[in-house]
Amino acid sequence: GDSVTQMEGPVTLSEEAFLTINCTYTATGYPSLFWYVQYPGEGLQLLLKATKADDKGSNKGFEATYRKETTSFHLEKGSVQVSDSAVYFCALRGNTPLVFGKGTRLSVIA
Amino acid sequence: GAVVSQHPSRVICKSGTSVKIECRSLDFQATTMFWYRQFPKQSLMLMATSNEGSKATYEQGVEKDKFLINHASLTLSTLTVTSAHPEDSSFYICSARAFVGNTGELFFGEGSRLTVL
C-alpha cells in the first residue's frame, strides 16, 4: 500500500541555518503530496502541497518539489527561525484520504 | 482557512469508563470527517472515515465497537471510546474536508489527548 518515509528527528538547528527534511513515498498512480506542520499545543496545519510531478509547493519560506523520478518531496527552508520549531509531517493522498509519515520534530535555537 | 474544533482538548478518565470526543466544523459543512490516532513519536494513523447520515468506515484493525463514531449532522462528528483502558491513551485528531472551488482541502482539529488511568 501507499506509504511515506521521512527522516527521523529530532532536528536541532541554530537560527538562520538551512533546513532539509527528507521525505520519500511509495504509491501507485500519481498521488498528491503534502507537508503539514504541528506547532506545540495546536492541530495540524497544511504548510504546502504539490499535486503533480515537478510541481513546487511553497509557503512561509518553505519549499518542496514533487520529484517523481526519485519519489521524493523534501522540505527545505533557507533560513529557519525560532518560530519554525514544530513537528513536520509529510503526507500523500492517493486512493486513501491521507497517509502520513512519522513526523520530524524541529527545534530551532536562538 | 476553514476551522475545525475538537472538544475536549484533554481528558483523563478511569479505566472502564467511556469518553466522548466532539469534532465540529465551525464555518463549513463537512459530509465527511476523518478520525486519526497519533501515538508518541509515531505517525497519524487513520482510524475511520465518518460519513454524515451513514455508518462510519473503519480501517483494518480498528474495533468499531470500541471506537463508536456518530456523524449526525454536517458540522458534528463524535468519537466515543467505550470501556476505555490505559492502552487507549493517545492523541486523537479529527479532520474534515472543506471544498473551496474544486479542491477539497483537509482541515484538522487541535486534537484531544486522552489519558486512561
One DSSP character per residue, A41-74 reads TS-EEEEEEE-STT-EEEETTEEEE-BTTTTB--
- Report the pLDDT value the prediction gives residue B44, as an integer from 0 to 100: 86
Q: Answer whether A7's CB lies under 8 Å from A103's CB.
A: no
Interface check A46 vs B, CB under 8 A: yes
Report pLDDT digits (tens) over B37-70.
988 777 888 999 988 888 899 999 999 999 999 9
Give the whole-angstrom CA distance, residue B74 versus residue B40. Answer: 31
To the nearest whole angstrom, how far is the Cα of B52 from the nearest Cα of chain A?
16
In whole angstroms, what is the distance from residue B111 CA to residue A70 CA? Answer: 33
CA B58, distance to chain mean position in Å, is 12
Q: Do A36 and B108 touch (CB under 8 A)?
A: yes
Digit-coded pLDDT (tens) for B71-112: 888 899 999 999 999 999 999 999 998 765 555 678 888 899
Asked if B44 and A42 come within 8 Å (Cβ–Cβ), the reply is: no
- Residue type (1 letter), B83: S
CB B56 within 8 A of CB B71: yes
Angle at alpha carbon of residue B25, lines to B40 and B73, rounded to 5°? 115
Alpha-carbon gap, residue A11 to A2, rounded angstroms: 26
Contact A43, A20 (CB under 8 A): no
Distance in angstroms (rounded) separating the CA atoms of residues B43 and A26: 16
pLDDT digit string (tens) for A53-74?
A: 999 999 999 999 999 999 999 9
Across A65-89, average pLDDT? 96
**Burial class of A25 by CB neighbour count within 10 A (0 to 12, 13 to 18, 19+):** buried
Residue B43: the pLDDT is 80
Are the C-beta atoms of residues B11 and B17 closer than 8 Å to each other? no
Per-residue confidence (pLDDT) for residue B104, from 0 to 100: 67
Q: What is the mean pLDDT of chain A?
A: 92
Which range scores top for mean pLDDT: A2-6, A76-80, B93-97? A76-80
Quote the longest CA-to-CA distance of chain A.
43
For B9-41, the pLDDT digits (tens) are: 999 999 999 999 999 999 888 888 999 998 877
Most confident of A13-17, A38-42, B48-52: A13-17
Residue with cell 527545505: A76
Q: Which of B4, B5, B7, B44 to probe by mutation at the A interface, max A CB count within 10 Å?
A: B44
Which residues have C-beta within 8 Å of that of residue B115, sequence separation ≥ 6? B10, B11, B12, B13, B89
Of A18, A11, A21, nearest to A101 by C-alpha is: A21
Q: Which three cell numbers, joined as nine digits, stand for B67?
A: 471506537
Whether A35 contacts chain B with CB within 8 A = no
Whether A38 has a pLDDT exceeding 80, the answer reads yes
